[in-house]
Structure 1
């Protein structure tokens, strides 16, 4: 079962995405309610049949003091669509510091981009301007909701109203 389920907080704000199995267990144990099913897909046991969840809502509010996207290699690659930000190739990808670490550049969302090995070597210890290389997009830190909506892979049509709401981010 490769399908995913959107978990909403008690106030219908998006929390995370989980497996169908985890979502079913939350509903079965009465910790969450089924908001939307997966359009005709069923889960079967020996004695019963259940609707496969697509969206569930927790009965109790979960207070998350910080909803942010973790800075990681995989998340930078997702943000940059798995392509070098200089030549747009999907081959031999690494991370590049826009302002090199040797010049005080930090490992932050705003200073890391996906780069192929060839472009990373060509840029070397220079800024993109000094190396005569242009970035396809300016690096940025995605918000939690934007990350769920845009970089979590397959987004179900039924999820979109919950992922497009303007939310106050911490």
Structure 2
């Protein structure tokens, strides 16, 4: 038997009208969207989706694990953030992209500006002072210092959530 507290601690995945997973919300918010007609239950697979019974004095509402919005929500405009220290550190999880250290971090141009490198998301990484000095005015190949991962611009939050959601779904199967 599932208690009311356990059910209310669950979360529901919200899909847009175009079936793009947007976010994860708490079950209380999902109930409001379902009752007001702003969302509908969504069944994603052959095994029936999980749903939780929520009882009120007058009815029992089955709240599914996935819902789809029925209202057109104006998609928020999202711009790629400017290249700055805070955003690069966040993207690189505050670790040196050459050695993995988390101390004395600086920014490094993968292809140095003196060699035609640009100040863009795909050319800047987080580096510790030691690795930055060791690499100097050379490319990672010339310095024999491979990057842990290739730098790229941050992803739109909705796209990142959708990517994470579908990866999790695939792992469950």
Pairing 1:34–2:41 present: yes
Question: Map of 1:1-170 to 2, 5 A cutoff?
Answer: 4-14=11-21, 16-20=22-26, 21-36=28-43, 39=50, 41=52, 50-64=61-75, 72-73=87-88, 76-77=91-92, 84-87=96-99, 89=100, 91-92=102-103, 96-100=108-112, 105-108=118-121, 110-116=122-128, 118-124=130-136, 126-141=138-153, 144=156, 147-151=160-164, 156-157=168-169
Show CA shifts across 1:77-101 (max 9, x none).
36xxx764323x3744665432456
Q: Unmatched 5+ residue regions in structure 1? A: 161-170
**Aligned residue pairs: how many?**
154
Given that residues 117 and 123 in structure 2 are in contact (C-alpha distance below 8 angstroms), is that contact kept between their aligned partners in structure 1?
no
Contact 1:6 1:55 (C-alpha < 8 Å) held by counterparts: yes
Q: Between Structure 1 and Structure 2, whose CA radius of gyration is higher?
A: 2
**Residue of structure 1 in register with 2:5 after alignment:** none
TM-score, reference length from structure 2? 0.55
Q: Is the 8 A contact 1:86 1:115 kept in 2?
A: yes
Gap regions ≥5 residues in structure 2: 1-7
Distance 1:128 1:67, change over 3 A: same
Aligned residues: CA RMSD:
4.6
